[in-house]
Amino acid sequence: MLFIIIHVNKDDIMDNDNNHFNNIYVQTKKLVGYKTIQQCTPLDYKNLGFKSGLEVHQQLYTDKKLFCRCPAGMYFPGEDYDAEVIRHMRPTLSELGEYDGTALMEFKTKKNITYRIKNPTTCTYEIDDTPPFPINQQALDIALEVALLLKTNVVGELHITRKQYLDGSIPTGFQRTAIVGIEGEIPLAEKKVRIIQLSLEEDACREVSDFRHQRIYTTDRLGMPLIETVTYPDLLTPQEVVEAGNYIRFMNRSTNKVRTGIGATRQDVNVSIRGGTRVEIKGVAHIKWFAELVHNEAFRQKSLLHISSQLKQRIKDIKKWDLTYQLIDPSLINPLPPSLKYYADSEIKWVAVNLPHFQDILAHFTQPGQVFGDELRGRLKVIACLELENLIHSQDRNELLATVDFSKIRQLLKSKSLDAQLLFWCPSQDLSTAVETIRERCMLAFHGVPNETRKALADGTTVFERVLPGPDRMYPDTDSAPLPIDEERINKVKNNLPPSIHYRYEQLNKWEISRHYWIYLLRHNLVPIIEKIIAFTNYSPKFLAGFFAQDLKHLEGRNSSSNFDYIHLISLFKFISKHNLSPEIAKIMLPVVFNNPNIELESVLTIIGYQKRNISDILSYIPDLRKKFKSIAKNKNINAERNWIMGNLKLLSIGNYPLDKLSEEVNRRVK
C-alpha cells in the first residue's frame, strides 16, 4: 500500500466517520466496471481493447562485462564498498535535436547520485572515466544465437547506441545498447507473437537507496551483458502475457549461455487499452505476477478514462483550468504528519491547494486499494522528492482526513462546492517543483492516461516511476565504431542452435511428462540432460523428469545460492548404469553429489551405506521381519505388515532391485 497510516485519536475518527472516502471508492470502482482477474473472460479484455507487449531482459553468461574487462557476475552488498563517486545528470539533445521528456523530468528532480565502488568489480569504465573497450565477442555470439532463435532479421552492422537514463542508474547517463535483429516471432499455443527486436546492452547499477534528493547505487552489476527481447503488443489477455513471458524465458535458458538466479532475468510489460496509452510496468521479477499486474493496469487506465470524461463534462475550457495555492499555518493540521522528520534541517512550507472541479475525483478508484489522490502522491515522491506521506486531500481516507481542518482551508482558498483541496508540506526548495508536479498531473487527467513507467508492487498494483521515455533519448555512441556481422559468423551460430521451445513442448507431451514439471524443466534447460541420459540408458524420460522436478528442485530450493552444474547429473546416471544399479539409487546419491559435485561416485556409495545384494538375500529377511512385526505391531492388518516390511527392505533394495518389483515380491510372500 502506498499510504502510511497516521495514528489518530479514536474519538476523532468517530466524529469524522462519514465514510465518504469509501463510498466514492466503492461507487467509482463499480462505475468503472472493475472485475477481478478470476471474474474476467477473454471477451472482457477484448471489450477493454487490452493490448500488451513484453520486454524481457536476460543477463548473459560471460566471463567479463560487455565493454570492459571487469569480471561479470560478482556481487557485493551495498554497504561493502571501497570508494564513492558522485555525479549529477543533465539532459542532452537527442540525435534528432529533441530533449526527451523523461530526461527533463529527471533533471527537475535534482538528485545527488552516489556510486559505491568495489574494486574487484569496477574499473574506470564503469564510473565513466574511460571510454568503452571493444564489445565482448562472447556476448555478441550469445545475442546472435537468441536473435536467430527469435527468427529475427539480423543487422548487417552493429551500431552501439546511447539510450539516455537520467535517473543515475548508469554513471554515463546512458546505456550502451545495440540492435542485433529485428522483426521475429515466437509461437504460442494459439497464435504467433511478433518480435520487434533483440538488442544487446549493458546492465545498469543496483539501487541501494533513494531518499529525498539522494540516491545511492552500487556499480557491481553495471556493465554486465544483457539481451532485451521486445515483442509487439500482440498479447490480448493476461494469460497470453504469461505464456509469452515463459516462452521467451525458456528460449533464453535453452541456449545454456544465460545467467540464472535473482535479478538475472527481469521483465518489463507494456499495457494499453482502447482510448488509453502505453504504460510500462518495470522490473517484474516473477512471470506469475504478470497476470495480476496487467489486469489491474487495464482497469487503472479505464478508471483514468472515466475520470477524464467526468472532468471534461464539468470543465468548459480545460486549457484555462488552473489550480490555486496558498501558504498556510501548520496549526490547521493536527497531529503533524510523521514524514516531517525527514526534513529536519529544512524550513518547511505548508501549502493548501485548490483543485477546481475535482470534487470526488481524488477518491476515485484507480487500482485495488488506490485512488486518484495516490497518483499525485506517487509523482510528488518521485519528481519533487517528497517522502510519503506527502499530502492529505479533502476526500482522503478518514484517518488522514481527520488530521486536517479542511473547512478552514476551503475558506482560505475561497473554494467552490465542486472543488477539491489538498494540503502538502515540503522543504522550501522543493515548493515550486511540487506545485508544478500537482498541476501537471491534474492537467494530464483531462487527457486520460499519461505515458508512464510504473513500478510493480508485490500486491499486483503499481506506482509511478517516471515519465515514459521515447525515441528522443537515443543517440549514437561516438566512442565506438560500427561492427560488421558477416554471413560466416551468423552461419557458425546457426549451425549450433538448440531446438525451439515449441519442439520441447511437443517432446514433453510425447514423453507424457506431467505439466506441473514443465516450467521447472524448461526454466533449468533440463530436457537436453534427459535426452543425453536416455541416449545411453533405458531409463524412462518420465522417471528422470519426475526425479529432476522433485528431488533436484527440492535440493535447489533449500540451497538457492548453489551453482550446481547439471553436467554432474549425466555422470551420475552414467555411473549408475555402468554399475548396473537400479536408477532409484539416484535419489539417495543426489544430495551427496549436489553438495560435493566433484566427489568420486564410488565413495558416494560408501557414504550412503550401499551394499551389493541380490534379490534372494533381500527376500531372505522376510520370515524374521514377519516374526518381529507380529511381536510389536498393534495393527495386525496385512497391508500394515506389508508396508512395514517394505520400509525395512527398501534401503537394502535401493540400487539393487527396483522397488516396484520388490513390492510385488513382498506382497506375494506376505499373505
Partner 1 sequence: MMNDIFKGYKGKALEILKKYNIRVWSEATIKTTRGDFKGIVLPRSENDDDLHIVLKLDNGYNIGIATNTIKQIKEFGYKEAHYKIPEKEFPTSEDKPNIKLFGTGGTIASRLDYRTGAVIPAFSPGELYGAVPELADICNLTTEKLFAVFSENMGPHQYKTLAVAIGEAISQGIEGIVIGHGTDTMHHTASALSFMVQNTPVPIVMVGSQRSSDRPSSDAALNLIHAVKTASESDIAEVLVCMFGPTSDEYGLLHRGTRVRKMHSSYRSTFRTIGDIPLAMVDRNKITPLQQNYNHRRKDTQVNILPYFEQKVSLIYYYPNMQPDIIDSLVDNGYRGIVIAGTGLGHVNKPLYPAIKRACQKNVAIYMTVQTLWGYTHMFVYDTGRDLMSNGVIPADNMLPEVAYIKLGWALGQTEDLDEVKKIMLTPVIDEITEREPYNGYLVFQGGVPEIEQFLKKIHK
Question: Footprint of partner 1 on this chain (CB under 8 A)?
Answer: 81-97, 99, 103, 119, 124, 127-131, 152-159, 161-164, 166, 171-174, 177-179, 182-183, 196-197, 199, 470-476, 478, 481-482, 484, 486
Q: How far is the CB of 220 from partner 1 (least distance, A)?
A: 16
Q: How far is the CB of 346 from partner 1 (least distance, A)?
A: 17
- Reference 391, options 435, 361, 358, 445; nearest CA is 435
Q: How far is the CB of 158 from partner 1 (least distance, A)?
A: 7
Q: Which residue has the cell 556481422?
A: 485
Query: 101: helix, coil or strand?
Result: helix
The residue (of 161 and 254) whose beta carbon lies closer to partner 1 is: 161
Number of other CB atoms surrounding residue 38 within 10 Å: 6
Contact 1, 328 (CB under 8 A): no
- Reference 610, options 585, 590, 631, 639; nearest CA is 585
Q: How far is the CB of 58 from partner 1 (least distance, A)?
A: 18
- Reference 454, options 309, 304, 583; nearest CA is 304
Q: How many CA atoms lie within 13 A of 574 on its CB side?
A: 10
The residue (of 8 and 474) whose beta carbon lies closer to partner 1 is: 474
Contact 573, 612 (CB under 8 A): no
The span from the first CA to the last CA of the chain, in angstroms, equals 63
The residue (of 170 and 581) whose beta carbon lies closer to partner 1 is: 170
Q: How far is the CB of 227 from partner 1 (least distance, A)?
A: 14
Q: How far is the CB of 325 from partner 1 (least distance, A)?
A: 25
Q: How far is the CB of 482 from partner 1 (least distance, A)?
A: 5
- Reference 84, options 112, 123, 115; nearest CA is 115
The residue (of 42 and 476) whose beta carbon lies closer to partner 1 is: 476
Q: How far is the CB of 141 from partner 1 (least distance, A)?
A: 17
Number of other CB atoms surrounding residue 110 within 10 Å: 14
Q: How far is the CB of 214 from partner 1 (least distance, A)?
A: 13
The residue (of 171 and 223) whose beta carbon lies closer to partner 1 is: 171
Q: How far is the CB of 90 from partner 1 (least distance, A)?
A: 5
The residue (of 182 and 622) whose beta carbon lies closer to partner 1 is: 182
The residue (of 436 and 506) whose beta carbon lies closer to partner 1 is: 436
- Reference 70, options 141, 135, 120; nearest CA is 120
The residue (of 230 and 236) whose beta carbon lies closer to partner 1 is: 230
State the helix-helix crossing angle for 431-446 and 101-109, rounded to 10 degrees.
Answer: 150
Residues 479 and 142: their CA atoms lie apart, in Å, by 23
Q: Please list, in sequence order, all residues whose beta carbon lies within 8 angstroms of the beta carbon of residue 671, skipping any fewer than 6 positions away.
A: 638
- Reference 113, options 169, 64, 185, 31; nearest CA is 169
Residues 454 and 471: their CA atoms lie apart, in Å, by 18
Number of other CB atoms surrounding residue 661 within 10 Å: 12
Q: Which residue has the cell 529432476?
A: 548
The residue (of 83 and 651) whose beta carbon lies closer to partner 1 is: 83
Contact 161, 475 (CB under 8 A): yes
The residue (of 473 and 504) whose beta carbon lies closer to partner 1 is: 473
Q: How far is the CB of 478 from partner 1 (least distance, A)?
A: 5
Residues 273 and 279: their CA atoms lie apart, in Å, by 10
Number of other CB atoms surrounding residue 649 within 10 Å: 22
The residue (of 103 and 649) whose beta carbon lies closer to partner 1 is: 103
